Amino acid sequence: MAHGHHHHHHPNVDAATGDRRIALAVGVNVLLTVAQVIGGILSGSLAMIADALHNFSDAASLVIAVWARKIARKPADSEMTFGYARAEVVAALINLTTLIVVGLYLFYEAVLRFINPQSVDGWMVVVIAGVALVVDLATAALTYAMARDSVNIRAAFLHNVADALGSLAVILAGTLILLFGWTWVDPAVTLGIAAYVLWMAWSEIGGVVRILMLGAPPRMVPEAVLRTAEDVEGVEGLHHAHLWQMDERTSALDAHVVIGPGAWSEADAIKMAVKARLHADHGLEHVTLELECAAHSCVHPRRIGH
């Protein structure tokens, strides 16, 4: 049977310390980006510029993620009656769309470099990429503790680990240029970085769009959820069901519940039992149920949706 998400938080890092670590990680990555862009221009290495753009996108995505998290903590009000939790989802969509644009741009530039090869200063590439590798690993270390408790920070942590791999690839390219003069390795590595960026963004953007489109939680089977409710004694059936993700952590169910003949006097108790079962079996905490007696239930209702 499908189950919902259960989140257990372990506050290993307090908010103030976390904010300082994130600010330091962002600042270091921005400085690294500037150094890589300058080094890439001076050395003629497109791969280094590609790695720099990826580093910058990671720093920007971390800023957007933290900003969105602050907005998401705001309580519901008359303007946003569901609250602001989806600010994080919107931020994720912005970050992933930007990554796709960056990936396509790098792919385009790499193809042009294959057509018109340029000389590359291998030593400068190796030195700056080596510094970048150290910074990437240091940034990953800064965010590691928080990554265990936050999906946003965890994504940033994984990006930094990926950046470290990208820096290793740039070092390899610079070394091969020094040893063998293979300038074609530089655009080849750039294609690899572009392919990775596109794959990562494409693999994650579907889940974000699913939430914004009010899709059912990916690891929940709607029919299994409805059958769980119908197994409660006194429930004759469910219809007009809506199962969706309110945000990345919370799922919700809205449905009409038909109370069986002779059980209307126990309707409130049955409703509470259904909610308790759904919470226990599927982790659903936000459940809204409209009760109908069997004699006056909806005529020819849809099982899912209206």
The three-state secondary structure class of 286 is: strand
One digit per residue, the tens of pLDDT, for the chain of length 306 reads 444 444 444 444 555 666 677 777 777 777 777 877 887 788 777 767 776 776 777 677 778 777 877 787 888 899 988 888 888 788 878 878 887 887 888 788 788 878 877 677 677 778 877 887 887 787 777 767 766 666 656 666 766 676 777 777 778 888 888 888 887 887 888 788 788 878 877 888 888 889 899 999 988 899 999 999 999 999 999 999 999 998 877 899 999 999 999 899 999 999 999 999 999 999 998 999 999 998 888 888 999 987
Domain extent listing, the chain: 15-212, 222-296
Q: What is the dihedral of CA 47, 50, 56, 59, to 10 degrees?
A: -80
Separation of alpha carbons 292 and 283, rounded Å: 25
Q: 15-212: CATH homologous superfamily?
A: Cation efflux protein transmembrane domain (1.20.1510.10)
Separation of alpha carbons 235 and 260, rounded Å: 6
- Residue 305 has, within 13 A of its CA and on its CB side, a CA count of 3
The topology (CATH level 3) of 222-296 is Alpha-Beta Plaits (3.30.70)
pLDDT of residue 10: 42
Separation of alpha carbons 253 and 275, rounded Å: 10
